[in-house]
Chain A
Amino acid sequence: MIGLALDLLIIVSLIGLAIQSINAASLFRGILHFVVLGLAMSLAWARLDAPDLAMAEAAIGAGVTGALMMIAYRRLIEIQPDQESSLRPPPSRLAVPIALAAGALVGVIGLAAIQAEPMPALAGTAVLENLGSTGLGNPITGVLLLFRGFDTLLEITVLLAALLSAQAVTRQVDLDQSLTTQDPDTPLVGALLAIVVPLTVLVSVHLLKAGGQETGGAFQAGAVLAACGVLLVLTGRLGASRQYSPLVNTGLLVGLLSFILIGLAPLLWGQPLLALPGLWAIYWIESAMMISIALTLVLLFAGAGSLKRRDHG
C-alpha cells in the first residue's frame, strides 16, 4: 500500500516535472525542472527494481545532462540574453490531438505488453544461467561486458563520436574564454575541493569495483568522476585548451583501445572474437572505460578539445 502510494507520488512528480520542463516560463526554470525530472526518474528506477539504472540516471541522466544544459544555457545567454522573447511558438491546433494519440498508442502498447502471455525470456534466462560460471555477481555487468560486450564497445564509440561531432561544431575562437566567474577565489572553495575531490575519486573507484558483484559499473563511476572534473573546471583548476595534449587524448581513448585490443587478442590463440580472458580483463576494461567516459564528459562540458591545468591562487 505504501509502495503504491510512493509509486503514485513519483509518477505524479514525473508528469508534473515533465510538463514544467517544457512549459516553464523561462528556459532556466525549464532546465531546473528537467534536472529534477532526472532525479525523479532515478527514484522510479529504484522502484522498478533496477538499481543500476537508478544510479546511472542520477549520475548521467540528471547530473551530467543537467551540467551540460546549464553550460549550454550560459553560452546561449552570452549571445542573446533574452532567450524567450522572440519565440512565440505558432499555435498548432494539431499538437494536442497528435500528442494524445501518441500517448494513447504507447499506453495501449504497454498495457498489451503487460497483459500478453508471458513468454520465456530466453536471453535473460541464459544470462542468469551462465552468470555463475563467470565469477560476476551483477548480471547487468555480465551482459554489458561479457555476453553483449560488443554493444558496450560500440556504445563508448557513440560517446566518442558525440564528442568528436560536438567538437567539430564548436567554434574554435572562443575556447580561451574562462567558464569561471571573474571573482577572486575564496578559501572555502579550496577547502571544499580538498575534501570532495579525493572523496569523489574514492566513490567512483568503489562504484567501479562494486559493479562486478552488485550495483555499479564503469558508466556510473565515470559519471561520478566526470562530476569531479566539472567541479575542477568550474572552480578554474582545469581550463579548456586548444593545445594537443597526448595525455588527455590517450585518456580519452584508453577505454575504447583497451576494449578493442583485449577483444581482438583472443583471436591470436584461437578463442572467439571479444571473448575476454578472465575477470582481470573485465576490471581493466572497466577502469579504462571509466577514465575515458569521465574525460569525454568533462570535455563535452568544457566544449574543448583538450584540458590544461591552471594555477589558481
Chain B
Amino acid sequence: MDSATLYVLAAAVLFGIGVHGLIVSAHLMRKLFAINIMGSSIFILLVATATPISGQADPIPQALVLTGIVIAVSATAFGLALMVRMSQETGKATLAVEDEPENDD
C-alpha cells in the first residue's frame, strides 16, 4: 500500500467524521469544525489523487487547494462572526429547531 492510498483512506474517514459531526453537533462552532474537517478531507483527496507529471507534483491541484484553504478560512471567519451575533441576539449558539416558528415576525 502506498502513501497516496493511505491518505485517500484517511480522507474517507475524515469525511465520515465530518458528516457525523455536522449531523450530531448542536453547537454551531462544532458544526463549523465539522465542515472544515470535511473540507480538509476533500483537499487531501484532491492532492493525493493527482497524477505526477514526469516525477514532479502537478501544480494545478495544489494551487486549487491553496485557493480552497483561503476560501474555507474566509467562510469560517464569517461563520464565527455570525455565530457570535446569533448568540448575542438569542443567547444561544445553536440552530435548535424548536425555537424557530417559521412564521415569526
Tell me if chains A and B make direct contact, with any CB pair below 8 A: yes
Q: Report the nearest B residue to A160, measured CB to CB.
A: B74
- Whether B84 pairs with A75 at a CB distance below 8 angstroms is yes
Q: Is there a chain A Cβ closer than 8 Å to B103's Cβ?
A: no
Q: Scoring B residues 9 to 29 as 1 if CB is less than 8 Å from chain A, else 0, what string do you get?
A: 111111111111101111101
Contact with A along B62-105 (1 / 0, CB 8 A): 11011101111111111011111101100111100000000000
Which residues of chain B have a CB within 8 Å of any CB of chain A? 1, 3-21, 23-27, 29-30, 32-34, 36-37, 40-45, 47-51, 53, 56-63, 65-67, 69-78, 80-85, 87-88, 91-94
Contact assessment for A171 and B74 in the assembled complex, using a CB-CB cutoff below 8 Å: no
Q: Interface segment, A46-54, A196-204, A243-251? A: A46-54
Closest B residue to A34 by beta carbon equals B33
Q: Let me know if B47 and A22 touch, CB within 8 A.
A: no
Pair count A-B, CB < 8 A: 259
Known: A18-B18, A69-B80, A170-B81. A140 touches B26 (CB 8 A): no
Contacts of B56 in A (CB 8 A): 128, 139
Which range contains the number of A residues in contact with the other chain?
35 or more
A288 within 8 A of partner (CB) = no
Decide if A102 touches B19 in the complex (CB within 8 Å): yes
Give B8's nearest chain A residue, CB to CB. A110
| Interfacial residues, chain A to chain B (CB-CB below 8 A) | 3-4, 7-8, 11, 14-15, 18-19, 21-23, 27, 30-31, 34, 37, 41, 44-45, 47-50, 52-53, 56-57, 60-61, 64-65, 68-69, 72-73, 75-76, 79-80, 83-84, 86-89, 92, 94-96, 98-100, 102-104, 106-107, 109-111, 113-114, 118-119, 121, 123-125, 127-128, 139-140, 142-144, 148, 151-152, 155, 158-159, 161-163, 165-167, 169-171, 219, 297, 300, 303
Q: Which of B43, B71, B78, B81 has the most CB of A within 10 A?
A: B81
B14 near A300: Cβ-Cβ < 8 Å: no
* A-B CB proximity, top 3 nearest: A103-B16, A107-B12, A99-B20
- Does the CB pair A83–B51 fall under 8 Å? no
